Amino acid sequence: MSRHVLDAEHYTSPDTLVKEKRYLFGRLWIFVGFTSMVRERNQFFTRKVAGIPILVQRTEAGVRAFINQCPHRLSVIQTEASGKRPMVCPYHAWSFGVEGELRGLPNHGLYQFTAAEREKICLRKLHIEEVGQLLFINFAEQPLPLPEQFSPEYLEQLREASLYLDSQIIYSCHRVRYNWKLNMENVKDYNHVPFVHPKTFLPVMESPVKALIAEPEAPSVVKGLLSRAEAPALSSLSYPTRAPIKPYKSWFSELCEPYRDEHIYYNWFIYPNVNFCSVRGEHFLLQQYDPVSPGETDYHLWMMSARRKDVRTDFTALLSTLIRGERAVIAEDTRVLERLQDGLGAHSASFMHGDYEEHLVQQHLWYRAHVLEVTE
């Protein structure tokens, strides 16, 4: 249909993933976790972001992010997924200070480093920003200003909503066999809900597919976008949506402080790879699609209720039920997307997009200009 949208090869090609790592994940602010995961000094979590091992740790200076790798033999510094421990490499016990600088060097006589050499040894520190309770890192030495990626109004919304997140979190990560971009496109595509989730998600929604009421002769938005083929502003790729859900009362709403008191399903799409949602402001989920290979993605999922009124309330059972329900919905998407990915190849035609998929086309136009066709 158009040479401006992405082709199937961009979902299967290792060269494309190399470009994404350099120009997309290497330049944009990427969500990594929640401030509640690093509340106390020396509390940390580790994970991978687009294949790079990351350590987020609260030091005496605040929340800091590093590449989780010792400058000596490149060993991992923190080996657990989360915990509370100073930054000491388990291999030769080098230890690091609040900004990642070398503090202790046991058996230092063996190394014969000069004072000047020793001065330069430090962990590779990454830029990190807190947006309410959401933590974002950036791999660039001079990152783009956060308000360039997310509009100031949108940042304010994220900040406000995230302050309602409870600190008791349930988390899961599973690997799926499709390209990460398919998932971001899938969550922005509300027209799949009646067909893929007829028994799970659909019954909850009041009107899942809001028909685009357009004049029959009105020009197509998508065709207009494609004929101009201009890359949109990066900040337009992240936006909120609201969809009405059938009114109901949940037993736990009185035990927490809901974000809003409306029968609404809230979505905050956070480009490039996060879908942050809330059901009635009573519970929240954050999904992240992290690339492993062109055809494989780590699907991270965090869920929590709104802030508990009393921290002694234990929501373990509630969170287990909520995540089981969410995983059932995700499994329905996974079946479709894994089959889709499995069929992609040189024989595949380009994707087609109707007007309701305007946001997908915008994403493709931005991606073409800033990832595929970069001239350095």
Q: Find the shortest distance in angstroms from Cβ 281 to Fe ion.
A: 21
Q: Which is nearer to Fe ion, 246 or 309 (CB)?
A: 246
Question: Applying CB under 5 A, does 282 fall inside the site for Fe ion?
Answer: no
Stretch that binds Fe ion, among 158-166, 261-269, 332-340, 357-365 (CB under 5 A): 332-340
Question: Applying CB under 5 A, does 333 fall inside the site for Fe ion?
Answer: yes
Helix (H, G, I), strand (E, B) or coil at 255: helix
CA distance 362 to 233: 9
Q: Find the shortest distance in angstroms from Cβ 182 to Fe ion.
A: 11
CB 225 within 8 A of CB 365: yes
DSSP codes of every residue in 276-301: EEEETTTEEEEEEEEEEETTEEEEEE
How deeply is 137 buried, as exposed, middle or buried, from its count of CB atoms within 10 A (0-12, 13-18, 19+)? Answer: buried
Please give the size of the binding site for Fe ion, defined by CB under 5 A.
1
Stretch that binds Fe ion, among 158-166, 298-306, 330-338, 357-365 (CB under 5 A): 330-338
Q: Which residue is nearest to Fe ion (CB)?
A: 333
Stretch that binds Fe ion, among 44-52, 232-240, 329-337, 363-371 (CB under 5 A): 329-337
Instruction: Give the angle subtended at the CA of 60 by the CAs of 58 and 64, to the nearest 5°.
Output: 40
Q: Find the shortest distance in angstroms from Cβ 332 to Fe ion.
A: 6
Q: Find the shortest distance in angstroms from Cβ 299 to Fe ion.
A: 12
SS (H, E, C) 100-122: CEEEECCCHHHCCCCHHHHHHCE
Backbone angles phi, psi at 338, to 5 degrees: -70, -40
Q: Find the shortest distance in angstroms from Cβ 189 to Fe ion.
A: 8
Which H helix or E strand runs over 226?
Answer: helix 221-228
Q: Find the shortest distance in angstroms from Cβ 89 to Fe ion.
A: 42
Q: Which is nearer to Fe ion, 83 or 194 (CB)?
A: 194
Q: Which is nearer to Fe ion, 7 or 357 (CB)?
A: 357
Binding site for Fe ion (CB under 5 A): 333
